Amino acid sequence: MRLQIRQSANSKIISLPEEILDALSLHEGSNVDVFVDQQGRQIIIRSTTNFSSAKIDAEFAHQINDFIEEYQSTLKELAK
């Protein structure tokens, strides 16, 4: 799906179609994680996991997110 970056006040925005939001159970006001994969030239948007409800230590969860962000390309290759 190809989308266009638009101007809104002092920000640039991408409007996500309803079917994408529905597929991830997201709605206006939902929190998402956004990562930039510079090597793969990708912006990755994913549903935010509520770590507190999973009873995972917040610091550990942050370390895991950092690890995934740093090694995302390698992890994708390993998953093939």
How confident is the model over 40-57, as pLDDT tens digits?
899 988 888 654 545 566
* Residue in the block written with tokens 């942050």: 62
How confident is the model over 23-34, as pLDDT tens digits?
888 888 888 888
Domain membership of residue 54 (yes or no) is yes
Structurally, the chain folds into a number of domains equal to 1
Q: Which domain holds residue 43?
A: 18-79
Q: What is the pTM of this model?
A: 0.51
Of 4 and 54, the one with more pLDDT: 4
Of 49 and 72, the one with more pLDDT: 72
Domain membership of residue 71 (yes or no) is yes
Domain membership of residue 41 (yes or no) is yes
Domain membership of residue 7 (yes or no) is no
DSSP 17-70: PHHHHHHTT--TT--EEEEEETTTTEEEEEEPP-TTTTT--HHHHHHHHHHHHH
